[in-house]
Amino acid sequence: MQLGSPAQQVMPCAEALDDEPIFVKTTSSPFASTRMEKYLRDNGIGTLVVTGAVAGFCVNTTVRAGSDLGFKMIVVRDAVMGFDMPDEQLSARAIFDVTMAYLKSDFAEIIESDAIVAAR
């Protein structure tokens, strides 16, 4: 399904429910470029479950910003992706593992998707 630019493309599994707000970010963290924080606070939401791309960039920035703002951050490890940085001689696996370790050390709980499914 093509919906315009790559930034506007949506996977069917990621489509919003009828009553679900959509925040389109223009920065690494949605906290910096959307009204998501206000929405979360206005609706008493204090825990965020994070998935997506890219581990060392947007996921890292979002989780750290959310944590700094007082939100409980949970990262679904097997629902986050990364990529190699060949110019820096860094593999996606190395970047991913270090990022998850940093986030786990002080900013987020790291879980696997089966924990989300089991909690339903």
Query: What are the chain's domains?
Result: 28-119 (3.40.50.850)
Confidence label for 119 from pLDDT (cuts 50, 70 and 90)? confident
Identity at 90, one-letter amino acid code: L
Where does residue 11 fall: left (phi above 0), alpha (psi -120 to 50 degrees), or beta otherwise? beta
Global pTM reads 0.85
SS3 label, residue 47: strand
Contact 46, 53 (CB under 8 A): no
pLDDT (tens digit, 9 = 90+) per residue, 40-84? Answer: 999 999 999 999 889 999 999 999 999 999 999 999 999 999 999
| pLDDT score for 95 | 94
SS3 label, residue 10: coil
Residue 118 to residues 72, 111, 115: CA-CA distances in angstroms? 20, 12, 5
Residues 79-102: what's their mean pLDDT? 93
pLDDT (tens digit, 9 = 90+) per residue, 2-15? Answer: 334 454 455 566 67
